[in-house]
Structure 1
Amino acid sequence: ARWLPDGHVEFLGRLDDQVKIRGYRIEPGEIEAALRSIEGVREAAVTVRTDSGEPELCAYTEGLRRNEVRTQLERLLPSYMIPAHMIEMERWPVTPSGKLDRNALPAPGGAADAETYTAPSNVTEMKLAQLWEDVLKNGPVGIHDNFFDRGGHSLKATALVSRIAKEFDVQVPLKDVFAHPTVEGLASVIREGTDSPYEAMKPAEKREAYPVSSAQKRIYVLQQLEDGGTGYNMPAVLELEGKLDPERLDRAFKELIKRHESLRTSFEQNEGGEPVQRIHDEVPFTLQTAVLGEQTEQEAAASFIQPFDLSQAPLFRAQLGKVADERRLLLVDR
């Protein structure tokens, strides 16, 4: 980072290459070192790609087939450090100075990342290949493609299991996705599985009040003991620059509250003294406005965060604080 003349600190980036993937902090250099330690791997590089819309690790290797590289790498590193994509390289792009040009490395899904495509041979494989394409967000998927080579990971495998249950009425254990990571292998598991009809969650019948979960009950009791503390508030502050229509923002928040029952819920005690939750059809909401003036952003946020009265919905508030003509702070608390 560096100091600016006005006293602010400008963040320039990390001195190392540490990245955050699905909540894990990862050093790509550690993965490169592990790849180079595998006998037969002559060269390796690891980058972070966002081609699929989310950050993913992509490994480039030379010397071994990628399936063999993945198998050996899984013995050296935890699952969250295994790259989503393994690309075999024959020629490496270099800069005029002779260093590796990481920006010129091929994107996943290109020729360097392609396997021989084998089309589905039956209806089960066709449906399953389509589910893979929906979950992985790339295609086409051949029946011999490896789910994890195509960018799959444990979270996407969980989503795939859920879609299989809905499409085929068969409950496939998550471990079977890891044990049979191809369309062909997983199709055989589905064919041998027992019927387990998919049942979508149905809305609860409309009632005056509903019981609370154990977690809700705990928080409710703690809030009563603290006489309305802010320990469980979840505030957020966003800086908005440019022209803004406060009325449209106010309508957007009202539509959000109208859409989600949880934002129209209040909590109270029934006649037996037990906490219950009440879902209201409509609740009043107004986007608060303020001029910060000489208040700092930290002071504005601190004064905005207040205890909620759990008996009054919505348990959600928002304020638009004007800093300058085209600069505002949006403060949200829930």
Structure 2
Amino acid sequence: ANTRFYIMCSLYDLSPPGVPGELVIAGKGLARGYWNLLEETNKRFVSDPFYSGERMYLTGDLVKWTEDGELIYLGRKDHQVNIRGFRIELSEIEAQLLELNSVKEAVVTTVKDASEQDALAAYVITAEETTDLKESLKRTLPDYMVPSWIIKLDQLPMTANGKVDLKALPAPDMEANQTAYEAPRDEVETLLCGIWEDVLGVSQVGIHDHFFFLGGDSIKGIQMASRLTQAGWKLDMKLLFQYPTIAELRPYIEEADQLTADQSPVEGEVMLTPIQRWFFERTFTDQHHWNLSMMLHAPNGFDLLMTEQVMQKLLSHHDALRMVYRQEDGSILQYNQRELTEPIAV
């Protein structure tokens, strides 16, 4: 009846049966927009790529077709988030929380941690300790889906429409998961406490504080291990998951081997890698167009001399940036030039 429904994985691509996508509505019955909300109207009511001059409405609902043409509702698109490269359905975490007998209500959302990165926070109505809830979630969810903070509330704030008011939820206390402070006992524990404070964005870390309860994750664990290495110590990352406090971790931290890499200039012929051989064997047209670029803008312009000095340092340090290619006897040879002149064209 003059109405069309699409399931779209992007604004221009339809989802095949079985593949989730956003439910989009088009046709003569479409509303003009949101009352007095121009920005929201422009975001939701967009041009229909299949019917010139018409519009369609992005519902925000995630659905999929079955092979029989039945429409299955999966949840809300705005309830799907990306945390450190992982796509996460917040409703899945909420469902696992509600599976716990002690949890009466739960909502999960994203917050900014101390380093301004997106992190997960759960708000629950429960009588159970939040540390116990987190341990329970670890048995059913992967590490990246366990909220960094679980906050107990007497009741969830609601909007006039009866939905949870996410904007009214209190910001998590970044240091709420800390235990009673106990000072480091030696040089390495002192070093670790300082690194954890920087990486996790908390003011004071004791040797019994739990790395992951303070908002840590695998990415921050890598940052921590990298700083430890720079200070002359090494740590097997998997041990952090087994021993997440400094007191537990200390016996497994070893002094790093002091290796000095050869920093002399690299030059001369370099063998092609398998993917490079594959590329040159295909003899693509305009091979020099196969590159990635990014436009950088500075409001006050660039200091050309300083920019050129920076580029020269990068070229000197990263050998791969000085690679050049020549065709000789029907083959492509790869050379590493000792230096490149005039890296900036004006």
Is 1:204 the equivalent of 2:263? yes
- Offset of residue 95 of structure 1: 4.1
Give the match for residue 290 of structure 2: 233
TM-score, normalised by the number of residues in structure 2: 0.65
Alignment check: 8 A CA contact 2:266 2:336 kept: no
- Rounded to whole Å, the distance in 1 between the matches of 2:53 and 2:310 is 38
- Rounded to whole Å, the distance in 2 between the matches of 1:97 and 1:91 is 16
1:220 pairs, out of 245, 257, 276, with: 276
Alignment check: 8 A CA contact 1:166 1:198 kept: no
Letter in 2 for 1:33: A
Letter in 2 for 1:58: A
Letter in 1 for 2:292: P
Structure 2 unaligned blocks of 5 or more: 1-43, 62-75
More deviation in 231-240 or 125-134?
231-240
- Rounded to whole Å, the distance in 2 between the matches of 1:126 and 1:85 is 25
Give the match for residue 260 of structure 1: 314
Give the match for residue 45 of structure 2: 2
Task: Give the match's secondary structure for 2:248.
Answer: helix
1:127 pairs, out of 186, 191, 194, with: 191
- Offset of residue 90 of structure 1: 4.1
- Higher RCO (Cα < 8 Å, 6 or more apart): 1
1:29 pairs, out of 91, 96, 101, with: 91
Sequence identity (%): 28
- Rounded to whole Å, the distance in 1 between the matches of 2:198 and 2:55 is 42
Give the match for residue 10 of structure 2: none
- Rounded to whole Å, the distance in 1 between the matches of 2:55 and 2:343 is 41
Is 1:172 the equivalent of 2:226? no
Which deviations, in whole Å up to 9, do the C-alpha atoms of 1:248-289 show, x marking residues without a partner? 3877874553232244432347999864432424244426xx
More deviation in 75-84 or 223-232?
223-232
More deviation in 226-235 or 203-212?
226-235
Pair 132,94 (structure 1): closer, same or farther in 2 beyond 3 Å: same
2:217 pairs, out of 153, 166, 177, with: 153
- Offset of residue 10 of structure 1: 10
Give the match for residue 46 of structure 1: 108
- Rounded to whole Å, the distance in 1 between the matches of 2:185 and 2:55 is 60
- Rounded to whole Å, the distance in 1 between the matches of 2:140 and 2:168 is 28
Letter in 2 for 1:267: Y
Give the match for residue 294 of structure 1: none
Alignment check: 8 A CA contact 2:157 2:165 kept: yes
Instruction: Kindly report the root-mean-square deviation, in angstroms, between the aligned alpha carbons of the 2 structures.
Output: 3.9
- Rounded to whole Å, the distance in 1 between the matches of 2:57 and 2:321 is 36
1:277 pairs, out of 327, 336, 342, with: 336
Give the match for residue 178 of structure 2: 115
Is 1:61 the equivalent of 2:152? no
Alignment check: 8 A CA contact 2:207 2:245 kept: yes
Alignment check: 8 A CA contact 1:74 1:82 kept: yes
- Rounded to whole Å, the distance in 2 between the matches of 1:8 and 1:256 is 50
Pair 228,284 (structure 1): closer, same or farther in 2 beyond 3 Å: farther
- Offset of residue 142 of structure 1: 2.4
Task: Give the match's secondary structure for 1:144.
Answer: coil
Structure 1 unaligned blocks of 5 or more: 288-334
Task: Give the match's secondary structure for 1:71.
Answer: helix
Give the match for residue 34 of structure 2: none
Task: Give the match's secondary structure for 1:141.
Answer: coil
TM-score, normalised by the number of residues in structure 1: 0.67
2:152 pairs, out of 69, 88, 98, with: 88
